[in-house]
Amino acid sequence: MAIIQYTLKRLLLMIPTFFLVMIIIFLLVRFLPGDPAIAIAGDRASDADLAAIRERLGLNQPLLVQFWLFVTNTLQGDLGRSILMRAPVTDIIFDRLPTTIFLTVYAVSLSLLIAGPLAFVAALNRNKWPDAVIRTVFQVGLSMPVFYIGLILLTFLAAQLRWFPVGGYGDTFIERLHHLFLPAVTVALYTSAIIMRNLRSAIIEVLDAEYVQFARAKGLPDRLVLGRHVLRNALISTVTLLGLSIGNLMSGTLVTETVFAVPGVGRLMLEAIFARDYPLIQGLTLTFAVLVSVVFLLTDLFQSTLDPRMRLT
Amino acid sequence: MSDTQPILEVENLCTTFTRGGVALPAVRDVSFNVGKGEVLGLVGESGSGKSVTLRSILGLSRRYGDVTGSVKWMGQDIAQMPERKLRHIRGRDIAMIFQEPMTSLNPLLTVGLQLTETLKAHTDMGRAARRDRAIEMLDHVGIPAAASRLNEYPHQFSGGMRQRVMIAIALAASPKLLLADEPTTALDVTIQAQILDLILSLADELEMGVILVTHDLGVVAQTCKRAAVMYAGRVVEQGDVRQVLRAPRHPYTVGLMRSVPQDVPPRSQLYTVPGTPPSLEALPQGCAFAPRCQGRTEGCLVARPPLEAIAQGRSVACFNPVIDAQGAAA
């Protein structure tokens, strides 16, 4: 019951956050250099045409009026019409969003699959060769830009070996796993490096904790000592980091989806920015804000199920 | 020697840690026995190797350092026994309680789980039986409303109560030897006596041997049958507790005894052993206590005095044992 109360409280707290996000989005887009009317009508459009377009988009109204319209429409689920796609922004986003969510969940799962076991191997062999090898490889992974790793993978695994498609997005679940493998791995390499490093040091710290010594002194089998006593405690700090990384990862989809031609909201965002498609940029930014908030909420909920001491606050 | 057949025989136990390429001999050539139901006090100041000795007996030190010598449990050497086999002795035959009740229980798991998992690891009790036994143990160590507290977490208990929980966990599988690493140091004075009484009455009831590590000579005098005094990783004196405390033969024990304020007028200067213990990185070649010793001779600086029997069940590691020291009455 406490968890439901906590969730409701957290959801209420999101309201002011989103109001603030909407102000920032609105102002940012307005102060971006460039004129959407020119973007729509082209460089050679007459002043009359441009004025007509501005009239239609409501761009010549006072800022406060524009903001009021933005807020009220958004609350009704109306994010306006995309200038670029000539369709409702809400429809476009909902069309593209599942792809990005799929990619993100995929990448996070891969990160955990890679980072978890390796962190354990590294921590248990601390300062011996397996630890050194794992840390060095991840160090290299961390210091290379995501798009560069992506391009290398594309060149070898997709273009030359033809193990994976160069781009696109399949229809069935299995096809999607196959199509999105390279982008997911690209993102996962980076994220797992961060998670692995954090989890490794957390495990090392917890291994020396008195309660782990006590668990050993009780004669528990290793699997219980590590799985129940060490991992759970080590996860606490890592879960926070994972939440933050997923936030990062969301904005990272801008690059990944572009490099791998994945039709998700990340690539859509880039297109919208180039086209100065105000309504679409606004809608997408809001979408990202919602997604990140949800991830943070889930992170905190998971934390509080892990750690009983956090449930009271 | 104890009157009964020893259950634990520690011989030439050495534990050496390596930090930054420097060897730190934390435990050096420690030997002692514990008989069935016997309470042995292991005394010494911080850093003298008491805790490491306990942890080495249970094989908890080996992942941090090098352990040599033999630890015979019921005649079987467990010092080099693989973890897989050793875990069946840990918790079931030899249990250990730690100094810090605040950090020795897992904060994320309920007290009930931490208790029953020990039972699960060592017995074939069913779920319900384990639960009943857990309630019985908590009740036994004096935790009120034990059944309702099984689902609570360590942070919902006070320090003294947590120490009781730890004792309940340690004793759940009815071990024959309890290693108690300063079990009362972190507690309030009023609670200290309660916990000590609890440990001793349980030991008596279960015919369980106890190695009680402490730096409190008063505790040793009250609770132990025999005492071993450690200095810089070695046992320097051991024997019957009354003899060791009343007529100490090693100059360090003499110093320790004199440091306990007794019948001193108010506001008088308290006695301290001059100097400080040597650091493990730079142990003197001869006797580790020689630099602080009033009665040292040339030989003390060159050779290390072996721990030698001077009477039945009494041994001292000193070339010039003190003859008639004024020990404190125990």
Class of residue A173 by CB neighbours under 10 A (exposed 0-12, middle 13-18, buried 19+): exposed
**Residue in the block written with tokens 């040597």:** B278
A210, A222, A224 ranked by CB distance to B83: nearest: A222
Phi/psi for A75 (5° steps) reads -65, -25
Q: A17-58, pLDDT tens digit by residue?
A: 888 988 988 888 777 777 777 767 777 778 888 888 778 777
Instruction: Tell me the percentage of chain A whose pLDDT exceeds 70.
Output: 97
Q: Do residues B99 and A196 make contact, with C-beta atoms less than 8 angstroms apart?
A: no
Q: What is the mean pLDDT of residues A66-82?
A: 85
A213, A219, A233 ranked by CB distance to B121: nearest: A219
- Residue contact B121–A218, C-beta within 8 A: yes
Q: A233-290, pLDDT tens digit by residue?
A: 999 989 989 998 888 888 788 888 888 888 889 999 999 988 888 888 888 988 988 8
- Residue contact A218–B60, C-beta within 8 A: no
Query: Can you list the domains of chain B with their CATH numbers?
Result: 1-84+179-184+211-261+273-324 (3.40.50.300)
- Residue contact B166–A209, C-beta within 8 A: no
DSSP code for A56: H
> For residue B1, what pLDDT is reported?
45
- Three-class SS of A84-97: CCCCEHHHHHHHHH
B239 pLDDT band, cuts 50/70/90, is very high
Q: Which of B182, B209, B267 minimizes the C-alpha distance to B32?
A: B209
Task: Using the predicted structure, report yes or no on whether residue B175 has a pLDDT greater than 90.
Answer: yes
CB-based contacts of A142, cutoff 8 Å, min separation 6: A190, A193, A194
Question: Nearest chain A Cα to B98, which residue?
Answer: A214
Strand, coil or helix: A240: helix
Question: Nearest chain B Cα to A308, which residue?
Answer: B108
A135–chain B nearest CA distance, Å: 21
Q: With an 8 Å Cβ cutoff, is B90 touching chain A?
A: yes
Chain B residues inside the 8 Å CB shell of A219: 87-92, 118, 121-122, 173
CB-based contacts of A43, cutoff 8 Å, min separation 6: none
Chain A residues inside the 8 Å CB shell of B181: none
> For residue B328, what pLDDT is reported?
43
B264 pLDDT band, cuts 50/70/90, is confident
**Residue in the block written with tokens 């050793």:** B86
> For residue A51, what pLDDT is reported?
84
C-alpha to C-alpha distance for A35 and A40, rounded to whole angstroms? 9
Instruction: Tell me the percentage of chain A whose pLDDT exceeds 90.
Output: 27
Task: Using the predicted structure, report yes or no on whether residue B12 has a pLDDT greater than 90.
Answer: yes
Chain A residues inside the 8 Å CB shell of B173: 219
- The percent of chain A in helix, strand and coil, each rounded to the nearest 5, is 80, 0, 20
DSSP code for B269: P
DSSP code for A246: H
Q: Apex CA B250: angle with CA B248 and CA B252, to 5°?
A: 100
Q: CB neighbours (10 Å) of residue A95?
A: 14
Q: Which residue has the higher pLDDT, B178 or B282?
A: B178
Query: Can you list the domains of chain A with their CATH numbers?
Result: 2-75 (no CATH), 98-310 (1.10.3720.10)
Q: Which of B125, B57, B41 minimizes the C-alpha distance to B90?
A: B57
Q: CB neighbours (10 Å) of residue B235?
A: 28
